[in-house]
Amino acid sequence: MDARTQSGVSTFTKLLAVLVILGAITWGLIGLFQWNLVNAFFGGDVQPAQSSRLSQFLYILVGLSGVALAFTFPWRNGGRRYAPRREVLP
């Protein structure tokens, strides 16, 4: 199940990252606007019940973490931020 792409990150890992990011953004929208993105797409109550300030803060924190993951996940370079060093021989 570890079919690697040319970038070195498996398709399965990318799928998991997309799901985590979408879930985190949904939590952020619930925390900020009391609006559920998943229910808006698939039906259901888009206005969840009121939550405490602490849970609202945690929803927002998880949402911001999802946005940060979307920008920092190694989508292309296989997890390496820098090119490997090459040894120079005399």
pLDDT in tens, 42-90: 777 667 666 678 878 888 888 888 888 888 888 775 545 555 667 777 7
**pLDDT attached to residue 54:** 82
User: What's the Cα-to-Cα distance from 19 to each of 54, 81, 89, 90, rounded to whole Å?
Assistant: 24, 23, 46, 49
Q: How many domains does the chain have?
A: 1
Query: Residue 30 is part of which domain span?
Result: 11-72
> Residue 56: its pLDDT value, please?
80
Residue 26 lies in a domain: yes
- Is there a domain that residue 6 lies in? no
Higher-pLDDT residue of 9 and 31 is: 31
Q: Classify residue 4: in a domain, yes or no.
A: no
pLDDT higher than 70, residue 1: no
Specify if 78 maps to a domain.
no
Specify the pLDDT at position 20: 92
CA separation (Å) from 7 to 17, 37, 49? 15, 31, 43
* pLDDT number for residue 78: 52
